[in-house]
Structure 1
Amino acid sequence: MSLVSSTSILRQARLEGYCVPAFNVHTLEMLQAVAEAAEESKSPVILQSTTGTVKHLGATYIAAAAKTAAELVSVPIVLHLDHCSDFDIIARCVRAGYTSVMIDASMHPFEENVRQTRKVVELADAVGINAEAELGKIGGVEDGVSVGEDEAMLADPEECALFVERTGVHTLAPAIGTAHGIYKGGPKIDFDRIGLIAGLTRAPLVLHGGSGIPDDQVRRCIGSGMAKMNIATELRMVFTEAIKAVLDRNPDENDPRQYMKPAKEATKRFVKRKMELCGSAGKAGR
């Protein structure tokens, strides 16, 4: 298959009450692990890269690897640019072949967020891909950008509906109490707010800060209307801990293949568990 837009996939997930997991990948092995887990689980999946990863690896390299992965499997694979506030980088990723992009202008006043989001939606519509945006401010650290608890701001349901109407954005990430990174305490998710937002707009909703949320709360978020869940920190931790385990056993190991293979396998097992949790396993190709 070719890379696909996430718009129809997420609309179907919302309609049927499950969630498509989206994994931030930083190496070829992580990308392969996610794609292979999706194929084995018969799940649609979203590969994501942050702005920092695009700067590190290059949009063209990332897109080429994702396109190859999509051609080798039978399930839908999306390539998404996560949390980007730079229109030039968004345009660069679209030219490289990304099939979904996120404009994050949530740090600006409402009208400026609308203006910037609309510009990206017009670009996405021109090439038939998905555009995602954020409303409210999600706490934690994402790609080096920190939003403290005192700065985090929950999204207003009626404002969300107005935002979707005025921008035409395809998917919306509202701030509902989650945070990027691993939680020091438990997440403080406003489930009623998710339900209110879902009831006021047809746009599929995106759960940011999905790492470390207890399984029962993930299921409740999905039941309340979330159709996509972003997972970044947990994936990195699984991958890194597997490498550390190999080097702990053999500190003199200098062949990357010897520690990348177990890291890939550990990542694949983790991804499969998340697909089961999200309810996306078995949903591809029906």
Structure 2
Amino acid sequence: MSLLNFNDILRIAQERQFKAIGSFNLHCIEMLPAYFRAAKKTNSPLMIQISTGTAQYLGYKLLVDSVCSLAESENVPTCLHLDHCTDINAIETAMNAGFTSVMYDGSHLSIDDNIANTRIVVEMARPKNITVEGELGAIGGSEDGKAVADEDITITTVEDAVRFVHETQVDMLAVSVGTVHGLYTGKAQIRHERLTAISKATGTPLVLHGGTGVSDEDMRLAVTEGINKVNVGTEMNVQWVGQCKTTFEKGKVNDSVRKFLIPANEAVTQVLMEKIALFK
């Protein structure tokens, strides 16, 4: 089974009565089978997203080959997405390796420079049938070593979103509407009216970053207001590390490593299933 791009995955998800698709950060290769188990149990297509740090750690080709193999053997429609990349050369590497979706994150730039660079990526992607995500506005918190302080958070405006989508022709747009990267001990405050207004004005699938800190109620509402892709990463990582700390502490040095990882992977599968259920 070939990997699919975001547009293909969203269409399949909607055919299966989902309003949005979850895009789940993969932190290490050992986690990967847990993602496919969750997708199969929920009859959901699967979008796996990779940070540039993880891609460099594991290798772009290993990730593509591993995801392709599981997508085929498990018969799960799957998209492999490069997340939050600021390096156009790294995006090109991912495209050439077989990633089917990429994100250029120019949110730290002026809107003019963000549009210009995002447009370059879109022009690279179109001949390869690869979808492109852009980001407009600054989302707080930290992810993969990149942090945005509270005073630097910028909420996306409707006017800027319309201009950005029109001039870049991105397939989906990540917006800053109150969520926070890495938040798992508090509650994000989504600006629902702004979200709805951006969706109506752009007519483009919107992306919610910082999905871990969003309440179930807000999540169900957001996917009716134009959010078609929800990024979740921190919660899986927290559960995986927590389980591993417990099992490694209790284990013996001659135990098989898999015994330490199985409970962690089971916890990750459960997190994915709970999140996917919110996207209907």
TM-score (norm 1): 0.93
Long gaps (5+) in structure 1: 280-286
**Aligned residue in 2 for 1:282:** none
Aligned residue-pair number: 279
User: Over residues 73-119 of structure 1, what are the superposed CA-to-partner deviations in whole Å (9 max), with x where a residue is unaligned?
Assistant: 22311000000000010000001100000000111111101100001
What does 1:202-217 correspond to in 2, within 5 Å?
202-217=203-218
- Contact 2:12–2:45 (CA under 8 A) maintained in structure 1: no
Distance 1:75 1:106 in 2: 32
Q: Call closer, same or farther: CA 1:61–1:17 in 2, change over 3 Å.
A: closer
The reply on whether 1:193 has 2:188 as its aligned counterpart is no
Amino acid at match of 1:248: E
Report the RMSD for the aligned CA atoms in angstroms: 1.7
Q: Call closer, same or farther: CA 1:198–1:45 in 2, change over 3 Å.
A: same
User: Over residues 167-208 of structure 1, what are the superposed CA-to-partner deviations in whole Å (9 max), with x where a residue is unaligned?
Assistant: 010010011110100255421211111100110112110000
**Aligned residue in 2 for 1:275:** 276
- Contact 1:102–1:133 (CA under 8 A) maintained in structure 2: yes
**Aligned residue in 1 for 2:267:** 266
**Aligned residue in 2 for 1:7:** 7
> Identity of aligned pairs, percent?
37
Amino acid at match of 2:140: G
Distance 1:68 1:17 in 2: 25
Larger mean Cα displacement after TM superposition, 219-228 or 253-262? 253-262
**Aligned residue in 2 for 1:124:** 125
Deviation at 1:245, TM superposition (A): 2.1
SS class of match (2:188) = coil
- Contact 1:54–1:62 (CA under 8 A) maintained in structure 2: yes
**Aligned residue in 2 for 1:136:** 137
- Contact 1:10–1:204 (CA under 8 A) maintained in structure 2: no
Larger mean Cα displacement after TM superposition, 65-74 or 7-16? 7-16
TM-score (norm 2): 0.95
Misfit runs of 4+, over 2 Å: 8-17, 183-186, 247-255
Larger mean Cα displacement after TM superposition, 243-252 or 74-83? 243-252
Which structure has more relative contact order (CA 8 Å, sep 6+)? It is 1
**Aligned residue in 2 for 1:284:** none
Amino acid at match of 2:118: T
Deviation at 1:140, TM superposition (A): 0.5
**Aligned residue in 2 for 1:97:** 98
SS class of match (1:118) = helix
User: Over residues 39-98 of structure 1, what are the superposed CA-to-partner deviations in whole Å (9 max), with x where a residue is unaligned?
Assistant: 221101110110111111111111111111111122311000000000010000001100
Long gaps (5+) in structure 2: none
What does 1:108-119 correspond to in 2, within 5 Å?
108-119=109-120
- Contact 2:9–2:79 (CA under 8 A) maintained in structure 1: no
SS class of match (1:21) = strand
Distance 1:118 1:194 in 2: 23
Distance 1:188 1:30 in 2: 30
